[in-house]
């Protein structure tokens, strides 16, 4: 079972920033749209942002203007720059292709709290 590898989470104060990283297999990264998802405590997983192979990005309304997704095909890596973080952004963040063809990884915990 092939999983992506997420990293970069942590504890941050409201208004702070974090940058998440996702490494995925080359066979998937070069073929599929990639996406960031999150699962807040007690809630279902939701789509946060997605980016096409050519680099066009789309965002959920609740992160527009605050988050930015990017990717580097040479490194099979995708990033999520998160600024102006809010307590409501607290969640486990996951990456996967879209549609999700990889086994879900462990995710990376983001906690926004003062």
Question: In this structure, what token pair is assigned to residue 67?
Answer: 């988050």
Smallest CA-to-CA distance from 51 within 25, 82, 26, 73 is with 73
Q: What is the pLDDT confidence band of residue 44, given thresholds at 50, 70 and 90?
A: very high
State residue 108's pLDDT score. 98
For residue range 54-111, list pLDDT tens digits in order.
Answer: 999 999 999 999 999 999 989 999 999 999 999 999 999 999 999 999 999 999 999 9
In this prediction, residue 8 carries a pLDDT of 98
Query: In this structure, what token pair is assigned to residue 55?
Result: 């680099």
Average pLDDT over residues 20-40: 95
Note the pLDDT of residue 1: 73
Answer positive or negative: Cα dihedral of 49, 50, 56, 61.
Answer: negative
């Amino acid at each position: 079972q092939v999983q992506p590898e997420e990293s970069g989470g942590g504890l941050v104060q409201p208004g702070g920033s974090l940058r998440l990283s996702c490494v995925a297999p080359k066979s998937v990264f070069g073929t599929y749209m990639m996406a960031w998802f999150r699962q807040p405590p007690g809630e279902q997983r939701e789509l946060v942002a997605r980016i096409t192979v050519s680099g066009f990005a789309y965002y959920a309304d609740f992160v527009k203007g605050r988050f930015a997704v990017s990717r580097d095909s040479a490194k099979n890596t995708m990033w999520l720059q998160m600024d102006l973080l809010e307590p409501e952004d607290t969640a486990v963040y996951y990456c996967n292709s879209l549609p999700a063809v990889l086994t879900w990884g462990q995710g990376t915990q983001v906690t926004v709290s003062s």
